[in-house]
Amino acid sequence: MIRFDEVSKVYRGTARPALNGVSLEILSGEFVFLVGASGSGKSTFLRLVLKEERPSSGGIHVLGQDLGAISSRKVPYFRRNLGVVFQDFRLLPNKTVFDNVAFTLQVIGKSKGFIHEAVPDALKTVGLDGKAQRFPHELSGGEQQRVAIARAVVNKPAILLADEPTGNLDPETSAGIMALLERINANGTTVIMATHDAGIVDRLQRRVIEVIGGRIVRDERGGGYKTQAHPVVNQGFGMAPSALPVVAPFAAPTSVGEQR
């Protein structure tokens, strides 16, 4: 689904790489938390998956496509397979909920008939049916994030990238959003979520990838925000060996091909 091979990213004008020799594989249908301090490289990771940035070295495969081989003209078509959600929602303030979600489909040239079927469907999925004609400023933060999620999944993407989707929300609302993301994941969409919310990570017990200073220091299934049980990858990726618990690898995806 997503495979990074020794990927490094150095932004121009900086000496320290934002990502440093990262290799990992995310399988179809997984729910992955990306944790780490601000500036650790989580957002760079998501931007690389979206091909908003190109890696300084290393190869990235997403959905069976080598991102290095996609011409910039083809990038938009590649992105139609991905949904993205942000901390700040990024809704269009002058459009209604319906139009915000429909906008996604309009700009990729979907027919009116398709839009009138898909948008209410997506709004129902996120629990906003009945609020289609509201404007974003008339909604609560949690509802706005639901609109953003509806927009991200209305085109049935294979992967949903969420960059701190609960960062602006109170715990109760966050729980609602997480339930929604889990439901989307249960329907087969791979979800990758960058977060600082320890409570959520601990509660869901999903795969956790911890990034520090551009390196993966922990990759475990069923992990918490801090705990370090069941690492998926136990090669140290350049970190001090003592920092990494030596535990038997858990379902290490060593030879999984480019499956979707």
Partner 1 sequence: MRLGLVLSEVGQGLRRNLSMVISVVLVTFISLTFVGAAVLLQMQITQMKSYWFDRAQVAVYMCTEFSTVGGCDQQVATPDQVALVQAQLEGATLAPFIDTFYFETQQQAFENFQEQFAGDAVADLITPELLPEAFWVNLIDPTQSAILSDALGGLAGVESIVDQRSYLDQIFDILNVSSLTAIGIAALMLVAAALLISTTIRLSAFSRRREIGIMRLVGASNRFIQTPFIIEGVVAALIGSVLAGFAVVGIVQFFVQGYLAETLPLTSFVGLSDALLVVPILLGAGALLAALSANVAITRYLRV
Please select the residue that binds partner 1; options are 96, 103, 167, 168, rule is CB under 8 A.
103
Q: Give dist(CA 5, CA 165) in Å, integer.
A: 27
CB of 14 to partner 1, least distance (A): 19
Strand partners, 2: 26, 62
Bridge partners, 192 (sequence order): 32, 161
| Residue 108 or 198 having the CB closest to partner 1 | 108
If you compute the radius of gyration of the chain from its CA atoms, what whole number of angstroms results?
18
Stretch 129-168 residues interacting with partner 1 (CB under 8 A): 151, 155
Identify which of residues 78 and 250 has a Cβ nearer to partner 1 in the complex.
78
For residue 209, give every residue at least 6 positions away whose Cβ sits within 8 Å of its Cβ, in sequence order, or none.
24, 32, 33, 34, 35, 216, 218, 219
Q: Please answer whether residues 213 and 201 qualify as being in contact, where contact means their C-beta atoms are separated by less than 8 angstroms.
A: no
CA–CA distance, 148 with 179 (Å, rounded to integer): 15
Site membership for partner 1, residue 11 (CB under 8 A): no
**Which position among 51, 61, 131, 207 is part of the footprint of partner 1 (CB under 8 A)?**
51
Choice between 90 and 260, CB closer to partner 1? 90
Q: Which two tokens stand for residue 121?
A: 């469907």
For residue 80, the minimal CB distance to partner 1 (Å) is: 4
Residue 54 DSSP symbol: -
Q: How far is the CB of 30 from partner 1 (least distance, A)?
A: 22
- Return the residue of 64, 68, 112, 183 that touches partner 1, per CB under 8 A: 112
Question: Does residue 47 bind partner 1 (CB under 8 A)?
Answer: no
Q: What's the token pair of residue 204?
A: 């869901």
By CB under 8 A, the residues from 57 to 86 that bind partner 1 are 72-73, 75-80, 82, 84
Q: Is 243 exposed, middle or buried (0-12, 13-18, 19+ CB in 10 A)?
A: exposed
Residues that bind partner 1 (CB under 8 A): 50-52, 72-73, 75-80, 82, 84, 90, 92, 103-104, 106-109, 111-112, 151, 155
